[in-house]
Structure 1
Amino acid sequence: MEQSKTDERRSAIVDRLADHVLAHGLVSASLRPLAKAAGTSDRMLLYYFTDKSELLAATLQRIAERMTIAMADHAAPEPLPLPALQKRLASLLFEDRFWPYMCIWIELASRAARGDPLYSPIAAAIGQGFLAWGEAQLAAKNDAERARDAAKLLVAIEGMMLVRAIGLHEVANRSLD
C-alpha cells in the first residue's frame, strides 16, 4: 500500500521531532520549539496531529523504534546467560551514541513515575518491549526462568543507567564485574 503525501509528510515531521527530542530532551517538547525543529508552524503540526499528546506519542514511538532497530543490529548470535547478556547490553547502551536514548528513557520514566497520563502508558509499552527483547536474547532452562531473568536484566540495566546519570560511571561499571 502506497503512503499518501500527508502520511509521508507526517512521517518526515516525526523523524525531525525525534532528532530534536533526542538532542534536547523532553523539556524542549513544547509546540513552538517542536514546530521550529520540524521546519513548520505550530498550527501545521496540529494539522498533522490531533493534539500535542498524539504528536509526542508518535515522536516517542519513533525514538523507541530507532533504538529497537539499533539493539537488534547488536543482538547476540545465540541466546546468552543473564550475566553475559547484562554485560553485552550495558556496554552497548552506555556507548555515547546510545546515551541520548537512555536520557530520554530516564525523563520518560520520571514523568511516568509522577503519574503523567501521557507518558505512563508509553513508558509501560517501552518497558514491555524491552522485557520481550531480553527474553528473546536469554538462554534459560524454561520460560519461567527466561521471564525472571528478563525482569532481572531490566532492573539491573535501569539501576546502572540511573547511577551513570548521576555521574557515578565507575559504580555502574564495577557492578558488571
Structure 2
Amino acid sequence: MKKTEMQREASLEKMADHVLTAGLNAASLRPLAKAAGTSDRMLVYYFGDKAGLMTAILQRIAARTTAMMLAGGANAPLPLDACITRTISILGQAAFTPYLQLFLQIASLSAQGDPFYRQVGEQMGRVYFEWAKAQLVSENESARAREAAILMQRVEGMVFLRAIGLDDVNDLAAGTDKGNAHPA
C-alpha cells in the first residue's frame, strides 16, 4: 500500500470515529480535517469533494457495522423469529448506539428532502436488506425476501422506539414486559 493510500485510510478511520462521536452536524470539512489531523485541502485531494468524502466515511462506518454484527454472532442463517430475536439482541448492545444514532440522523435528513442522504440511506438500506436475506432460513427466495423485509421493519421500528424513549413498548413487543408499560 502506498504512503498516500495509507494516509487516506488512516484519515478515514479518524473521520469515521469523529462522525460517530459528534454526528452529521459536525461533518463539515474543517472539523473532519481537524479530526483526521490534516487540512481540508488534503481531504479534497484524497476524496475529490465533500460528497465523495462523506460517501467514503459512511461506507467505512457501514463496513464496521457489518463486522460488528458478524462478531456478535450474526453469521448463521435462522428462521425469521429467531433471526429477529438475535438481531435485536445484537443491536441492543451499547457498542451499537452511535451507529444506530447515525442511521437515524441519515433517515431524518432523508425525510427532510436532502437528496444526498436520501441516496445514502437507500444504499445502506439495500445493503442491509441483502444482509437480512442472507440471515434467514426460508422455504424459497420469495419468502426470504418477504421475511427480510419483516426483519428490517421490526428492527428499524425497535431502533426508532428506543430513540424516542419507548423502551417499554419494545419490551412489550419482545414479550419481556416488566410491567413498565405507560398508559396512553
TM-score band (shorter)?
over 0.9
1:137 corresponding residue in structure 2: 135
Instruction: Give % identity.
Output: 47
The correspondence for 1:96, drawn from 90, 94, 97, is 94
1:49 aligns with 2:41: no
Unaligned 5+ runs, structure 2: 176-184
What are the superposed Cα offsets for residues 73-121 of structure 1, whole Å, 9 maximum, x if unpaired?
2344642121111111111112110111000111111112223222122
- Provide Cα deviations, 1:101-160, integer angstroms capped at 9, x if missing partner: 000111111112223222122211111111111111111111111100000110111111
Task: Report deviation, 1:169.
Answer: 1.5
Q: Return the TM-score normalized by structure 1.
A: 0.93
2:11 to 13, 20, 31: 13
TM-score by length of 2: 0.90
- Compared CA separation, residues 77 and 124, structure 1 to 2 (3 A): closer
Taking CA–CA contacts closer than 8 Å with sequence separation of 6 or more, which of the two structures ends up with the larger relative contact order?
1
**Root-mean-square deviation over aligned CA pairs:** 1.3
2:75 is aligned with 1:81: no
Q: Which moved more, 1:152-161 or 1:120-129?
A: 120-129
CA contact (8 A) 1:75 1:137 kept: no
CA drift at 1:70: 1.1
CA distance in 1, matches of 2:149, 2:92: 19
Distance, in Å, in 2 between the alignment partners of 1:30 and 1:14 is 14
Aligned to 1:70: 68
Instruction: Report if the CA contact (8 A) 2:74-2:87 is conserved.
Output: no
In 2: Cα distance, 1:126 partner to 1:77 partner:
19
How far did residue 60 of structure 1 move?
0.4
